[in-house]
Amino acid sequence: MPLPKSVARKAPRTRPLVCDMRTALKNLSDQVNRLTIAFCVTCVLAMLSISFIGFFYMIVTGAALSWTYSLARLFIPWIGMLSITVAFKGGEHVAMSMLVRQLPIGLALALRYASLALIALFALLLIWFGWDFFMSSRQVYMVSDQIQIHGRWVAACVPVAGLILLVHLSSGLALLEPLDPERTAASLAASAENTTNR
């Protein structure tokens, strides 16, 4: 019995819509990653500039600036937390790839999904507890008499890192290195052959 025209028309559109959604999420993840890298580079350059200012000031005057170290170290939490997301996006996180290569394809895929779930849980915990840490932060860093930085500047890096991780997860980024294509093809061929023989 043929399908109604309304159903027949809608069926082909679902696949391109899913592909478009995946492409859009991947593009969003790529763009967020580029912005994150640019921000990390800016933080590193700011730290280096502050350190060089203190160094040259000491060479010229013979006295040390008291605020250079205190100000420069306020960029470290941002660099550290955002570097987690950059490493994750680039696939440079810790992965037990040697173990995964020895496992059957089905178990390796199950481990991928478990890894994605654990990273998602970690990201949600970063957002949940990081937001509470951000909102309850009342400390003000007295860099000098004139320079005072609120503690929320440092605390904000925790929930932001969690949000960026979720963006990368939504793009379907694989946590472990891609499965060996030859091994996957051989496994699929073997299972198809077993099915045909039955």
Confidence at 70, pLDDT banded by 50, 70, 90: confident
The pLDDT assigned to 141 comes to 76
The pLDDT assigned to 15 comes to 59
Examine the pLDDT at 10 and tell me if it is beyond 80: no
Structure confidence by residue, pLDDT tens digits, 40-59: 999 999 999 998 998 898 88
Q: Go through 181-194 and write b for each residue having 16 or more CB atoms within 10 A of its CB, e for each that does not.
A: eeeeeebeeeeeee
For 72, residues 6+ apart whose C-beta sits below 8 A from its C-beta are 46, 47, 50, 51
- Write down the pTM of the prediction: 0.71
For 126, residues 6+ apart whose C-beta sits below 8 A from its C-beta are 158, 159, 161, 162, 165
Looking at 8-165, which runs of residues are DSSP E strands?
140-142, 148-150
What are φ and ψ of residue 148, in 5° steps?
Answer: -130, 125
Would you say 107 and 40 are in contact if contact means Cβ atoms under 8 Å apart? no
Q: Where are the domains of the chain?
A: 14-183
Structure confidence by residue, pLDDT tens digits, 87-108: 888 876 665 666 667 778 888 7
Structure confidence by residue, pLDDT tens digits, 18-38: 667 778 888 888 899 999 999
Structure confidence by residue, pLDDT tens digits, 140-186: 877 777 778 888 888 999 999 999 999 998 876 444 444 455 554 55
